[in-house]
Amino acid sequence: MGEAFRRTRVGVIAGILVAALAAGLSLGLPALSERSPEGNVRPGTVVLLHGLGRSENNMRILEWRLEARGHRVCNVGYDTRVERIEDAAEEVAGAIADCGPGAGPVHFVTHSLGGLVLRALLPRHPELGGGRAVMLAPPNQGSEIADRVRELGWLAPVLGPLAVQLGTRPQDLPKRLPVPEIAFGVIAGDDWINPAGPLWLPSPHDGTVSVESTRLEGMRDHIVLPYTHTFIVAAEPVAAQVDTFLRHGRFDPEG
């Protein structure tokens, strides 16, 4: 009990520090574009893309954690209830332009559906392809859960037309979208709270997407961390691995 309380207290303190950073306090870290070349830093802006049925608020903690590490972050909200993923991609492109990424390359950190939006975005906007990307829990090979519930009829009314296109069939989005032509890595989760996960997904999985489904040809690195599909975006060790990949093009297996 004492150890659990200590860990909880440490987590609360860490959360307060992150919130303070978001409120405008500074640790005195130089901006990403100001770091020395010895750190293998590629200057630019980090664009965050949330998942299905979510908003930029779901990426807020990750935004704060990356800003605390010196990154300039553009946390993009977009409509996931569109008919075509290309519509979401164009909305994201407009939001990036409004954010004003400047002269440096644009990096991406995506969650779930956001990884597929990125795969649709880059061929349409090659000018955004100079950076690196990290995909968090992406259904790159499709979701077996989407296969199971597609025929029930409630998926599209609840989550929108894209939801029924996330299965594992050849005609579904994950199998049709091109591989990103930038350096990208994938972080998968292998913990779960969704009771449908162990019933419908091959192990290991994060309750929504299997670890195997997160893999994609051409990825530079892949790592599995003990988080669920929903909460992988908020974990501090995940932010640390994202930062490592954006700076060095690889994850830290000892991290």
* CATH code of the domain in which 162 resides: 3.40.50.1820
110: closest CA among 87, 84, 92, 90? 92
Is residue 151's pLDDT more than 80? no
Among 64, 70, 116, 124, CA closest to 96: 124
Number of domains into which the chain is organized:
1
Distance CA 59, CA 88 (A): 17
Within-domain flag for 233? yes
Please check whether residue 232 is in contact with residue 162, taking contact to mean a CB–CB distance below 8 angstroms: no
Instruction: Please state the pTM of the whole predicted model.
Output: 0.82
Cα gap 122→130, rounded to integer Å: 10
Residue that the structure tokens 């029924």 belong to: 164
Which residue segment(s) compose the domain that 217 sits in?
A: 31-248
Evaluate whether residue 149 is within a structural domain. Answer: yes
Query: Looking at the domain assignment, is residue 255 inside a domain?
Result: no
CA distance 142 to 167: 5
Return the closest-CA partner of residue 166 out of 90, 62, 53: 53
The string of pLDDT tens digits covering residues 42-87 is 557 999 999 999 999 999 999 999 999 999 999 999 999 999 999 9
32 exposed, middle or buried (CB, 10 Å; 0-12, 13-18, 19+)?
buried
pLDDT of 209 higher than 60: yes
Residue 86 falls inside a structural domain: yes
pLDDT tens for 25-48 read 222 333 443 333 334 545 579 999
- The confidence score (pLDDT) of residue 90 equals 97
184 touches 134 (CB < 8 A):
yes
Residue 1 belongs to some domain of the structure:
no
- Is residue 23 in a domain? no
DSSP 8-state class, residue 205: B
Q: Is 126 within a domain?
A: yes
Q: What is the DSSP letter of 151?
A: G
In a domain, 22, yes or no: no
